[in-house]
Amino acid sequence: MPKIRFSTTPWLIAVIAVLPGAALAHTEVGVAGGLLSGFLHPMLGLDHLVAMVAVGLWGAQLGAPLLVALPITFPLMMALGAVLGVAGVPLQGAEIAIALSSIALGAFVVLAWRPNQTWVAVLPVAFFALFHGHAHGVELPVAANPLAYGLGFVVATGLLHLAGIGIGLLNTRAALGARVVRGCGAAVAAVGMTFLLSHLTAVA
Amino acid sequence: MTRVARLRAGLALGAVALAPQPAAAHLVGVEFGAFYAGALHILMAVDQGALLGAFALLIGLQSRKDGRWALLTVPAALFAGAAATAVLGTTWPGDAAAGVATIAAFAVLGALAAARACLGAGAVALAGTLVGLVAGVANGVAARGGAVDPWLYAAGVAGAGAVALTLGSALAVAGAARVPVLGIGYRVVGSWLAAVGVIALGLAVAQAGG
């Protein structure tokens, strides 16, 4: 009769897999809940995430003073858009505008577009930030601590800009840096195009 | 002393040392309890930290000569605001109104820092007075009702607020002087604070409206 061999490893994995975890059925409230909720909001939407990174990428390509002006403009205009969303002021075609923001900002990075005037670069960023803020504003959790939510939301946005700036600094500091940055811009535009087609298909 | 006597003395000392005493986890039994309550109140609140932080950043972007005026006006205004609210015990402003005023104040200060506004000595002194009054009243609201000595409480608020602002602004000024690129960082953080203030105000108003 053949001898049956038992290995403890599969059993151990099975036991760990069926261990009960803590149920998270409720929205977290209070300062910690508001902070977490606000921080995750821009991170969990790919269309928002790539556009915010693209702002940093383009700012790094353009250098001072737009390296600072773009990451300052975006959160301020996004906050105004969020207030419009909270107040229930409608912005038509917000989702399409958000997809277009990724396409446009990605294209600016791919083309390494350098506007002659500062305001020419600030204007599209401010315009698109309004729609990003509005989209978040209409989904703001009513139970969240307002200050903590705002703090998490803005810090996450700022960190995404910083991530873009960090990648964008490769533009002048690495042999293939400019190509890598442009490649990232192309990826951002491709994500935007995917979202645009998805929205247009849904509308049709 | 014999060995037995030494053992008895040691046991007696040990018993005295281990005798249970009343727990003193709170400062209610201390005459200065109200002072510490005021000091902790301003240091532990997120909105108060944001207000003092935004003002410290703005001072960091001013000249040293102009910035010093804030260190004179803020403690006096903090004490005046906290003492007036706690002593008079008026029903206005309520907790919500005081919180909204604090958020609005740091949003404006953050926007000024983002714009790298050069205020001048007079405007720094005026801003310091307004910031101190807003923060003082917001902290004084918690001491209404006579549970704590309002004068000691106000002294705690003013003392801790003054120390926090002095250290924060000194760090900001020294940092900008040694590492000029930090000035850019102050402007970015200022814009973040302004944006946080705008979002928080919008959400607070929406929540108040149901």
**For the residues B44-65, what does the mean pLDDT come to?**
90
What is d(CA A97, CA B47) in angstroms, rounded to the nearest whole number?
A: 34
pLDDT at B25: 56
**What residue type is B156 in one-letter code?**
G
pLDDT at B169: 92
Taking an 8 Å cut-off on Cβ atoms, the answer to whether B203 and A86 are in contact is yes
Mean of per-residue pLDDT scores for chain B: 86
**What residue type is B139 in one-letter code?**
N
Alpha-carbon gap: A69 to the closest alpha carbon of chain B (Å):
9
Establish how many alpha carbons lie within 13 A of residue B118's alpha carbon, considering only the half-sphere containing its beta carbon.
3
What is d(CA B3, CA A125) in angstroms, rounded to the nearest whole number?
A: 87
**For the residues B155-165, what does the mean pLDDT come to?**
94
Of chain B, the percentage scoring pLDDT greater than 90 comes to 39
A-chain CB neighbours of B111 within 8 Å are 76
- B177 has a pLDDT exceeding 70: yes
What are A36's two structure tokens? 């977490």
pLDDT at A108: 94
Q: How confident is the model at residue B136 (pLDDT cuts 50, 70, 90)?
A: very high
pLDDT at A28: 54
- B27 has a pLDDT exceeding 70: no
Alpha-carbon gap: A203 to the closest alpha carbon of chain B (Å):
30
Establish how many alpha carbons lie within 13 A of residue B150's alpha carbon, considering only the half-sphere containing its beta carbon.
19
**For the residues B79-103, what does the mean pLDDT come to?**
84
Please state the three-class secondary structure of chain B as a single string.
Answer: CCHHHHHHHHHHHHHHHHCCCCCCCCCCCCCCHHHHHHHHHHHHCHHHHHHHHHHHHHHHCCCHHHHHHHHHHHHHHHHHHHHHHHHHCCCCCCHHHHHHHHHHHHHHHHHHHHCCCCCCHHHHHHHHHHHHHHHHHHHHHHHCCCCCCHHHHHHHHHHHHHHHHHHHHHHHHHHHHHCCCHHHHHHHHHHHHHHHHHHHHHHHHHHHCC
pLDDT tens sequence across A34-60? 788 888 888 888 888 999 999 999 998
Alpha-carbon gap: B147 to the closest alpha carbon of chain A (Å):
26
Q: Give the chain A residue nearest B210 (alpha carbons).
A: A142
Q: How confident is the model at residue A204 (pLDDT cuts 50, 70, 90)?
A: confident
What are B115's two structure tokens? 């714009």
- B15 has a pLDDT exceeding 80: yes
Interface residue B44 vs chain A (CB under 8 A):
no
Q: How confident is the model at residue B124 (pLDDT cuts 50, 70, 90)?
A: very high
Q: Give the chain B residue nearest A76 (alpha carbons).
A: B195
pLDDT at A2: 63
**For the residues B126-144, what does the mean pLDDT come to?**
91
Residue B194 and residue A76 in contact, taking contact as beta carbons nearer than 8 Å: yes
Q: Mutation target for B interface from A154, A161, A162: give the one with most B CBs within 10 A.
A: A154
What is d(CA A52, CA A163) in angstroms, rounded to the nearest whole number?
A: 9
pLDDT at B184: 84
Interface residue A86 vs chain B (CB under 8 A):
yes
Q: Buried (b) or exposed (e) across A174-191, using 16+ Cβ within 10 A?
A: eeeeeeebbebbebbbeb
- A25 has a pLDDT exceeding 70: no
Of chain A, the percentage scoring pLDDT greater than 70 comes to 88
- A30 has a pLDDT exceeding 80: no
Q: How far apart are the first and last CA of chain B?
A: 79
Mean of per-residue pLDDT scores for chain A: 84
Q: Give the chain A residue nearest B204 (alpha carbons).
A: A146
pLDDT at B89: 72
pLDDT tens sequence across A79-96? 999 888 888 888 888 889
Interface residue A69 vs chain B (CB under 8 A):
no
Q: Which of A14-18, A34-38, B116-120, B154-158 has the highest mean pLDDT?
A: B154-158
A-chain CB neighbours of B204 within 8 Å are 146
Q: How confident is the model at residue B93 (pLDDT cuts 50, 70, 90)?
A: confident
**For the residues B112-131, what does the mean pLDDT come to?**
92
Which of B103, B199, B207 is the closest to A153 by Cβ? B199
Cβ atoms within 10 Å of A115's Cβ, excluding its own: 14
Question: Mean pLDDT lowest for which of A47-51, A138-142, B122-126?
Answer: A138-142
Taking an 8 Å cut-off on Cβ atoms, the answer to whether A154 and B114 are in contact is no
| Alpha-carbon distance values, A180 to A4, A27, A105, B102 (Å) | 56, 40, 16, 44
pLDDT at B171: 92
Q: Is B141 exposed, middle or buried (0-12, 13-18, 19+ CB in 10 A)?
A: buried
pLDDT at B160: 94
Q: Mutation target for A interface from B109, B196, B199: give the one with most A CBs within 10 A.
A: B199
Interface of B with A in 70-129 (CB under 8 A): 103, 111, 114
What is d(CA A171, CA A62) in angstroms, rounded to the nearest whole number?
A: 10
What is d(CA B146, CA B140) in angstroms, rounded to the nearest whole number?
A: 11
- Taking Cα atoms as reference points, which of A64, A97, A81 lies closest to residue A157? A81
In this prediction the ipTM stands at 0.73
Q: Is B70 exposed, middle or buried (0-12, 13-18, 19+ CB in 10 A)?
A: buried
Residue A65 and residue A73 in contact, taking contact as beta carbons nearer than 8 Å: no
A-chain CB neighbours of B188 within 8 Å are 68, 71-72, 158
pLDDT tens sequence across A144-169? 677 888 888 888 999 999 999 989 88
Number of residues that this document lists for chain A: 204
Taking an 8 Å cut-off on Cβ atoms, the answer to whether A147 and B103 are in contact is yes
- B32 has a pLDDT exceeding 80: no
* Sign of the torsion formed by the C-alpha atoms of A40, A45, A46 and A48: negative
